Amino acid sequence: MPKGRAGPHKFSLSHPQTPKLSYGYSSKMNIGKSGYRVFSANSTSACSELAKIITEAVICCRFPSFTETRVEVKESVRGQDIFIIQTMPRDVNTAIMELLVMAYALKTSCAKNIIGVIPYFPYSKQCKMRKRGSIVCKLLASMLAKAGLTHIITMDLHQKEIQGFFSFPVDNLRASPFLLQYIQEEIPDYRNAIIVAKSPSAAKRAQAYAERLRLGLAVIHGEAQCSESDMADGRHSPPAFRPSCGPAGLELPFMMAKEKPPITVVGDVGGRIAIIIDDIIDDVEDFVAAAEILKERGAYKIFVMATHGLLSAEAPHLIEESHIDEVVVTNTVPHELQKLQCPKIKTVDVSMILAEAIRRIHNGESMAYLFRNVTVDD
């Protein structure tokens, strides 16, 4: 990125009964209308840490816990490209509201473009209809557009089709080059490894890793796994038999209920290093169960690799007590506390690609370089 200079704080966050605190300012291309600025949201110190790595000049403070967020732009941003870096801490809803208020404040201050840098896009698992629920990810996309965002930089969306929810451009970067590099440099004898998908739904992503590393592929399938697609459609939510619902004489074909086979590992993992690949690690029960199965089948070392390490609830304790030897995630989500609780958790830095994306978008350069050799399934 071009060298920036530290300057005065640009945002203030206040409450009628609390002293004003400030949002961070990172770098400025030039004083003219073609310049850009990078702001860090104030939700957690980890957000400012990621922003600092990306811009190398961020000043940011935490804001206290109160009920309202107030943003004031203290310097002209008219005609500027504004990048808002927002990671998602445990309090996701507060972080989202903070992002919306910041974006709207910049919009009303006549910023030229407002680009959200959201490494982990929240509510991405709620991208399909489940029973009588809602597609919350689509709602969030509409809210961001209404608030004033004109572009989003994110990483490894849970489903690639989520990009269709937005009315503005979305750059969905990939963490796979960094995780592949980690495998090659940090896992001794990785040539004796096998890539594992913990469920059939994760097989495409695992296959992409296996093909790049020239390794074999194994898939865990069976009754211990709970496929996300089992409840995604929502059309099975009414009772299976309601004779009073249809007109007289209407008989629909009988649909047999799903019944999963006994748990099976498709592929030979005996005497191999098993590397489980996924995009999100949140509740780790499925990964712990998969590790037990792989250990029973003869795998002598087990790694889990994913882009987003949410690691909710008792995840660090469960990982520490499991057969998993190491969990490798990127720094798209703050997880420093979890690392203190479990030394098995390792972090891969992906700030480099985020910084390059910011530079290219501001300069109007092609993003193709960041997607070289990347397939749809990565």
105-139, pLDDT tens digit by residue? 999 999 999 999 999 999 999 998 888 889 999 99
DSSP code for 22: E
Say if residue 46's pLDDT is above 50.
yes
Q: Which residues pair with 345 in a beta bridge?
A: 327
Output the CA angle 200-204-210, nearest 5 degrees.
Answer: 110
**CB within 8 Å of 154: residues ≥ 6 apart:** 118, 119, 120, 121, 170, 171, 172, 173
Of the given ranges (1-10, 119-128, 142-151), which has the lowest mean pLDDT? 1-10
Q: What pLDDT band is residue 338 in, cutting at 50, 70 and 90?
A: very high
Q: Is residue 10 pLDDT above 50, yes or no? A: no
> What pLDDT score does 228 carry?
53
Mean pLDDT, range 198-221, rounded to an integer? 94
Cα radius of gyration (the chain): 23
At position 294, the amino acid (one-letter code) is L
Q: Give 286-354 as a DSSP string.
A: HHHHHHHHHHHTT-SEEEEEEEEE---TTHHHHHHTSS--EEEEETTS--HHHHHH-TTEEEE--HHHH
Position 255 scores a pLDDT of 76
Residue 225: per-residue pLDDT: 44
pLDDT band per the 50, 70, 90 thresholds, residue 191: very high
Given a cut of 60, whether residue 316 has pLDDT beyond it is: yes
What's the average model confidence in pLDDT over 148-169? 95
Mean pLDDT of 241-246: 54
Of the two residues 10 and 186, the one the predictor is more confident about is 186
Is residue 286 pLDDT above 60, yes or no? Answer: yes
Whole-number average pLDDT of the chain = 82
Confidence of residue 49 (pLDDT cuts 50, 70, 90): confident
User: Which residues, 6 or more positions from 68, have their beta carbon under 8 angstroms from its beta carbon?
Assistant: 15
pLDDT band at 50, cuts 50/70/90?
confident
Tell me: pLDDT of 298 over 50: yes
Q: What is the pLDDT of residue 17?
A: 37
255 versus 186: which is more confidently predicted? 186
pLDDT of residue 13: 40
State the virtual CA torsion across 347, 350, 351, 352 in degrees, nearest 10.
130
Please give the pLDDT value at position 246.
61
Give strand ranges (E) for the chain: 11-15, 18-28, 36-40, 71-73, 81-85, 113-117, 151-155, 170-173, 193-197, 216-221, 264-266, 273-281, 301-309, 326-330, 345-348
The tokens for 288 are: 């712990």
Residue 9 confidence (pLDDT) = 38
Q: What's the confidence (pLDDT) of residue 377? A: 76
The pLDDT value recorded for residue 22 is 35
Tell me what percent of the residues of the chain surpass a pLDDT of 90.
59
The rounded distance, in Å, linking the Cα atoms of 74 and 252 is 65
Could you tell me if 322 and 200 are in contact, meaning their C-beta atoms sit under 8 angstroms apart? no
Q: How confident is the model at residue 158 (pLDDT cuts 50, 70, 90)?
A: very high
pLDDT band at 250 (very low <50, low <70, confident <90, very high): confident
